[in-house]
Chain A
Amino acid sequence: GDSVTQMEGPVTLSEEAFLTINCTYTATGYPSLFWYVQYPGEGLQLLLKATKADDKGSNKGFEATYRKETTSFHLEKGSVQVSDSAVYFCALVILHTDKLIFGTGTRLQVFP
């Protein structure tokens, strides 16, 4: 079935370090891909999305490229801040379905 696999956390970084959070997917159709972010005690916020192969989604310094050949959608940021500390979820939805499938989330901790 369709699924999303994310790297285990927590990911611990110093401020201004480079961030990569790996995400790979398995899908039977043509998925759209998303990254959501969840701050402590809050709901999820859409961070970025990509709807077809080779698309790059970007927002707030974060970016991810839809790689069909490697079925991946890795999240990157060049210089993280303490305020980026949160849980990040990779997700997909298959065209013409109405189900968002989530990975288990990766906690990011950024220290000054």
Chain B
Amino acid sequence: DGGITQSPKYLFRKEGQNVTLSCEQNLNHDAMYWYRQDPGQGLRLIYYSQIVNDFQKGDIAEGYSVSREKKESFPLTVTSAQKNPTAFYLCASRPGTGVNEQYFGPGTRLTVT
């Protein structure tokens, strides 16, 4: 089955700890994205990557970091510098040039106390 997997579905951390969220896709898509979703709000772009070993900041990159060492993987680290990390995090991918739509994973709900 082709798709985007995010793990774990629920994640709990203590304040001050860094945490890494996994995103893997076996669709052979070129571009990958991380979004944050808060209750009653739309999605906000954190980081995106169009090719391996390259990524760009989105609208709310502060307190987050990413890497893109492999085409199929785009992990997101939520650092202790992120002031309000509790949220639902969504990973997405896009096939490549000429295709505008993005396809989403199931999401990871992060709770920091």
Pair A105/B42 contact, Cβ less than 8 Å: yes
Contact surface of B with A, Cβ cutoff 8 Å: 4, 6, 31, 33, 40-43, 45, 48, 50, 58, 90, 92, 94, 100-107, 109
With known contacts A98-B31, A98-B48, A99-B58, A45–B104 Cβ distance under 8 A = yes
The interface residues of chain B, by DSSP majority, are classed as strand
The interface residues of chain A, by DSSP majority, are classed as strand
CB distance from A77 to the nearest CB of B (A): 20
Pair A34/B104 contact, Cβ less than 8 Å: no
Question: Contact residue range for chain A?
Answer: 20 to 34
- Residues on the A chain within 8 Å of B102, using CB: 46, 100
Pair A104/B40 contact, Cβ less than 8 Å: yes
* Residue A32 at the chain B interface, CB threshold 8 Å: yes
With known contacts A42-B107, A43-B107, A44-B104, A102–B43 Cβ distance under 8 A = yes
- Residues on the B chain within 8 Å of A43, using CB: 4, 6, 90, 104-107
